């Protein structure tokens, strides 16, 4: 005999409807976090004061991965560090886990970055140039570093504005005179480097500084200046990245193929970065980058 008879059909239908509604409500909460409509801390607040809410039933892993600047790898790391089990839901956290998670999110979401120097990197054609051009125009108080390069100027590029276009001999001189904070050969072709004196001067003057450089450069800057904040700009999808690269028409097919290969490798490095920003819309991405440059007032 079956000790627990199946519920009547009508109950099962009602239960499955309720489950679908709950899932939808949780998806809406995640969407709100992902689009900055609510902070993860606000969601936790509701979860902890209202145990029957959609927020209460949200898994911590889902909550964390909805935070725009947190990826799955970092989210998993945070959960391990805080001793939160994979399947844990927000309302199921213990007192200590609650306060530790709260503190972690406060540091993460508070728009508080630990430094004034932000390095913006990301795969080719993701729109780093557009995001930094937007910042140049809308936030003139931010110092944008102008790199030196041995690549010839493209149409419309101005020496001293977009790059300092230099000869190989001049680039060699800059290296030996220690004028570069970092330099790298990018896309296996030309050399690019970050001039150090202007950055030092801007930082000393208390300005916020933005470097838009490649991945190797970002790693080297972090090694030189550990307080630098590394931001990885992501495309909404790989297909979109390919579309952006092939339709901008600035590279020939061989160059495009080379850059896509570099992009594939670069995308795999995103978890080395402090923050990730998705470039769906240039203005929004730029604002997120600028928010990460907020300097907490208690810093010396
Ligand atoms: P493009 O030739 O399209 O202007 O830039 C090619 C790549 O070089 C981009 O990924 C850009 O971020 C990178 N880049 C520009 N300036 C620097 C720099 O000073 N240092 C490094 N390491 N990369 C740079």
Tokens of 101: 């998670």
Tokens of 44: 């936790």
Question: What average pLDDT does the segment 17-44 reach?
Answer: 90
Q: What percent of the chain has pLDDT over 90?
A: 56
For a mutational test of ligand 1's pocket, the pick from 151, 162, 187, 192, i.e. the residue with the most ligand atoms closer than 8 A to its C-beta, is 192
| pLDDT reading at 6 higher than 80 | no
* Whole-number pLDDT of residue 111: 44
Can you give the three-state secondary structure of the chain, one letter per residue?
CCCCCCCCHHHHHHHHHHHHHHHHHHHHHHHHHHCCCCCHHHHHHHHHHCCCCHHHHCEHHHHHHHCCCCCHHHHHHHHHHHCCCCCCEHHHCCHHHHHHHHHHHHHHHCCCCCCCEEEEECCCCCCHHHHHHHHHHHCCCCEECCEEECCCCCCCCCECCCEEECCHHHHHHHHHCCCEEEEEEECCCEEEEEEHHHHHHHHHCCCCEEEECCHHHHHHHHHHCCCCEEEEEECCCHHHHHHHHHHCCCCCHHHHHHHHHHHHHHHCCHHHCCEEEECCCHHHHHHHHHHCCCCCCCCC
Cβ of residue 142 lying under 6 Å from some atom of ligand 1:
no
For a mutational test of ligand 1's pocket, the pick from 179, 214, 245, 264, i.e. the residue with the most ligand atoms closer than 8 A to its C-beta, is 214
- Mean pLDDT lowest for which of 31-35, 102-106, 121-125, 216-220? 102-106
Pairing of strands 163-165, 147-149: parallel
> How remote is the CA of residue 258 from the centroid of ligand 1, in Å?
15
* Whole-number pLDDT of residue 192: 97
| pLDDT reading at 146 higher than 90 | yes
- Average pLDDT taken over every residue of the chain: 88
| pLDDT reading at 163 higher than 90 | yes
> How remote is the CA of residue 80 from the centroid of ligand 1, in Å?
36
Cβ of residue 150 lying under 6 Å from some atom of ligand 1:
no
- CB burial readout 123-160, b (16+ within 10 A) else e: bbbbbbebbbbbbbeebeebbbbbbbbbeeeeeeeeee
CA dihedral 156, 203, 289, 134 (to 10 degrees): -30
Return d(Cα 229, Cα 114) in angstroms, integer: 7
Cβ of residue 274 lying under 6 Å from some atom of ligand 1:
no
Better pLDDT: 100 or 249: 100
- Mean pLDDT lowest for which of 21-25, 127-131, 198-202, 234-238? 198-202
Which of the four pLDDT bands, split at 50, 70 and 90, describes residue 110?
Answer: low
Which of the four pLDDT bands, split at 50, 70 and 90, describes residue 114?
Answer: very low
For a mutational test of ligand 1's pocket, the pick from 160, 213, 259, 289, i.e. the residue with the most ligand atoms closer than 8 A to its C-beta, is 213
Tokens of 54: 């959609």
Q: Phi and psi of 160, rounded to 5°?
A: 90, -15
Tokens of 208: 């916020």
Return d(Cα 68, Cα 225) in angstroms, integer: 25
> How remote is the CA of residue 134 from the centroid of ligand 1, in Å?
17
Q: What are the Cα distances from residue 61, in Å, to 20, 30, 70, 75, 87?
A: 20, 11, 11, 7, 8
Which of the four pLDDT bands, split at 50, 70 and 90, describes residue 99?
Answer: confident
Nearest Cα residue to atom 2 of ligand 1:
151
Q: For 191-207, what is each residue's pLDDT tens digit?
A: 999 999 899 888 878 78
Crossing angle between the packed helical segments 238-247 and 253-267, to the nearest 10 degrees: 150
> How remote is the CA of residue 145 from the centroid of ligand 1, in Å?
11
Return d(Cα 230, Cα 45) in angstroms, integer: 30
């Amino acid at each position: 005999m079956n000790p627990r008879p199946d519920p009547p059909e009508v109950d099962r239908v009602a239960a499955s409807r309720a489950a679908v509604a709950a899932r939808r409500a949780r998806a809406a909460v995640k969407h709100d976090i992902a689009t900055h409509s609510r902070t993860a801390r606000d969601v936790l607040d509701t979860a902890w004061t209202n145990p029957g809410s959609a927020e209460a039933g949200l898994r911590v892993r889902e909550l964390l991965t909805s935070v725009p600047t947190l990826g799955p790898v970092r989210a998993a790391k945070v959960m391990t560090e805080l001793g939160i089990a994979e399947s844990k839901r927000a309302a199921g956290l213990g007192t200590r886990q609650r306060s530790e998670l709260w503190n972690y999110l406060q540091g993460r979401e508070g728009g508080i970055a630990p430094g004034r120097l932000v390095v913006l990197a990301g795969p080719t054609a993701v729109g780093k140039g557009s995001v930094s051009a937007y910042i140049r125009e809308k936030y003139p108080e931010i110092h944008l570093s102008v790199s030196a390069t041995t690549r010839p100027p493209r149409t419309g590029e101005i020496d001293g504005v977009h790059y300092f276009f230099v000869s190989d001999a001049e680039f060699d001189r800059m290296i030996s005179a220690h004028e570069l904070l970092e330099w790298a050969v990018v896309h296996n072709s030309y050399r690019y480097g970050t001039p150090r004196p202007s950055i030092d001067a801007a930082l000393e003057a208390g300005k916020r500084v933005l470097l838009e450089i490649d991945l190797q450069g970002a790693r080297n800057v972090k090694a030189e200046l550990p307080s630098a904040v590394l931001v990885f700009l992501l495309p909404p999808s790989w297909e979109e990245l390919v579309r952006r690269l092939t339709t901008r028409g600035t590279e020939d097919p061989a160059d495009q193929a080379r850059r896509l290969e570099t992009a594939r490798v670069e995308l795999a490095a995103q978890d080395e970065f402090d923050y990730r920003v998705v470039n769906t819309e240039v203005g929004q991405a730029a604002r997120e980058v600028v928010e990460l440059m907020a300097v907490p007032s208690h810093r010396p």
